[in-house]
Amino acid sequence: MAAALGSRAARRMRHLLSALKPGIQIPRAGPAAAFGSSVTSAKAAVNGVHLHYLRTGGGEHAVLLLPGMLGSGETDFGPQIENLNKKLFTVVAWDPRGYGHSRPPDRDFPVDFFERDAKDAIDLMKTLKFKKVSLLGWSDGGITALIAAARYPSYVSKMVIWGANAYVTEQDTEIYQGIRDVSKWSEKTRKPLEALYGFDYFARTCEKWVDGIEQFKHLPDGSICRDLLPLVQCPTLIVHGEKDPLVPRFHADFLHRHVRGSRLKHIHLREEPVAQNHRRAGSARWPRAHWRA
Ligand code: TYC
Ligand code: MN
């Protein structure tokens, strides 16, 4: 992989996403640690809900981490929170409404739920007084990032997304059915979310998510955000894991074609078989993005 990471964008991406260890840990003291190296947990009132977020680092460049379906800052981004450069970045990892500690309310999935998340995300960062932000979004968080960048072009500096899709196909629908029942997920994938939510909320919300995402299947071209892609103005890096068991490559290719000036990077996980990735959930080198449902 190192040899393939020649371009500046790819190097920057690797820097941004260097995901080395799981879990949230207080970074080592030393030259790389800046002030504000601890991780704080807080809530902000935004759009009628109390959004929870983790925050670390004291750098000029504000970066928002956007988790995937059922995800949260702590479950999805431990390695990034620990390892992103705290002198360069101020890192915020948010829990979308109904996920993580941004409850109540319970999560629901109206057809505009990604639009709602995008507005919540941007309004959270404005509430926290950031002048501009860069977005790192995986999977559903990547979709939210795309919509946010399209809707708020003057507020978004740069974006890295991985595991995102702009539309839903028959193939996706089959995959969704396969993950609907959380008791069939691998233990390593299931456990952290079960601990966060309790089994019942976790199971119910996953089913609601499947119903929610399938709504797009019935829209023209299965569109989630196809029409918005040309509105994205910021430099965008699209990452695709070639062994991603859930998101087929054509989704990344489509995003690359429709987001002007975007770059596409295919990566290879070290752990090759999908089953093994699943077992290695909590300790995978790469963020959960590449294998989690
Ligand atoms: N978008 C899901 C997430 O946020 C992952 C996923 C993508 C699941 C595609 C199924 O067919 C699928 N983690
Ligand atoms: Mn390749």
The residue length of the chain stands at: 293
Domain ranges of the chain: 3-19+39-292
Shortest CA distance to 239 belongs to which of 286, 181, 293? Answer: 286
Give the pLDDT of residue 270.
58
Q: Mind listing the pLDDT tens digit for each residue in 210-253?
A: 999 999 999 999 999 999 999 999 999 999 999 898 999 999 99
Residues 232, 153 contacting (CB under 8 angstroms): yes
CATH, domain range 3-19+39-292: 3.40.50.1820
Q: How far is the CA of 209 from the centre of ligand 1 (A)?
A: 10
* Euclidean distance between CA atoms 62 and 228, whole angstroms: 24
CA 9 to chain centre: 19
Q: Is 104 helix (H, G, I), strand (E, B) or coil?
A: coil
Residue carrying the six token digits 């057809």: 111
Residues 290 and 284 sit within 8 Å (Cβ to Cβ): yes
Q: 51 alpha carbon to ligand 1 midpoint, in Å? A: 23
**Is the pLDDT score of 260 beyond 60?**
yes
Q: Specify the higher pLDDT residue, 239 or 13.
A: 239
For 84-88, 119-123, 288-292, which range has the lowest pLDDT when averaged over its residues? 288-292
pLDDT of 124? 98
d(CA 281, CA 290): 10
- Please tell me which of 8-17, 157-166, 269-278, 281-290 the model is most confident about, judged by mean pLDDT: 157-166
Least confident of 8-22, 40-54, 88-102, 256-270: 8-22
Q: Which residue type occupies 182?
A: V
Q: Which two tokens stand for residue 2?
A: 């190192």
The residue whose CB lies within 8 Å of the most ligand 1 atoms, and thus the one to mutate among 66, 69, 117, is 69
Bigger pLDDT: 25 vs 195: 195
The whole-number pLDDT of residue 28 equals 36
Percent of the chain at pLDDT exceeding 70: 80
pLDDT band at 37 (very low <50, low <70, confident <90, very high): confident
Band (269; pLDDT cuts 50, 70, 90): confident
Q: Which of 167, 184, 247 has the most ligand 1 atoms within 8 A of CB, as the residue to mutate?
A: 247
The DSSP output letter for 224 is: S
What is the number of alpha carbons within 13 Å of residue 35 lying toward its C-beta? 2
In terms of pLDDT, which residue wins out, 146 or 281? 146
